């Protein structure tokens, strides 16, 4: 009879105790918090890498344009020999583009 009573109690037990519910809830919250931090860091890294890539690409395009213009120039007007300036002035083959000027002011080309 004792065995049947214990067996019936174990078979009829349904649901969770308060402790089990709090344990599962806290484990789920910790997992969710950890996942959200990981995804946030991943997103920030992606945005930073895209910005770096964009700046590198624009710098490469500007450098290519300046290099091609200098190679095709007839004469370099500025800077003169042994002077430092943030302006590059070129005389090109096309008179409509004379003088071609590249200027750097406030870190803007």
Give the range of the structural domain holding residue 29, as residue numbers without chain letter.
Answer: 17-72
Q: How far is it between the farthest Cα atoms of the chain?
A: 112
Q: Does residue 89 lie within any of the structural domains?
A: yes
Q: Does residue 9 lie within any of the structural domains?
A: no
- On whether both 58 and 32 belong to a single domain, the answer is yes
* pLDDT attached to residue 52: 97
CA pair distance 49, 58, nearest whole angstrom: 14
- On whether both 22 and 65 belong to a single domain, the answer is yes
Q: What is the pLDDT of residues 51-109, one digit of tens each?
A: 999 999 999 999 999 899 888 888 888 777 777 788 888 888 887 778 888 888 888 87
Contacts of 70 (CB under 8 A, 6+ apart): 76, 88, 90
* pLDDT attached to residue 23: 94
- On whether both 53 and 90 belong to a single domain, the answer is no
Q: Does residue 58 lie within any of the structural domains?
A: yes
In contact, 103 and 86? CB cutoff 8 Å: yes
Domains identified in the chain, total number? 2
Q: Does residue 12 lie within any of the structural domains?
A: no
- On whether both 109 and 91 belong to a single domain, the answer is yes
Q: Does residue 94 lie within any of the structural domains?
A: yes
Q: What is the pLDDT of residues 1-44, one digit of tens each?
A: 455 666 665 666 667 788 989 999 999 999 999 999 999 999 99
């Amino acid at each position: 009879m004792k065995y049947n009573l214990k067996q019936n109690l174990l078979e009829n037990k349904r649901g969770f105790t308060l402790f089990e519910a709090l344990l599962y809830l806290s484990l789920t919250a910790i997992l969710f918090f950890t996942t959200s931090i990981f995804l946030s860091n991943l997103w920030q890294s992606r945005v930073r890498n895209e910005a770096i890539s964009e700046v590198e690409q624009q710098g490469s395009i500007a450098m290519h344009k300046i290099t091609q213009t200098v190679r095709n120039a007839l004469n370099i007007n500025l800077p003169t020999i042994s002077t430092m300036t943030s302006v590059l002035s070129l005389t090109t083959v096309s008179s409509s583009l004379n003088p071609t000027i590249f200027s750097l002011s406030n870190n803007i080309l």
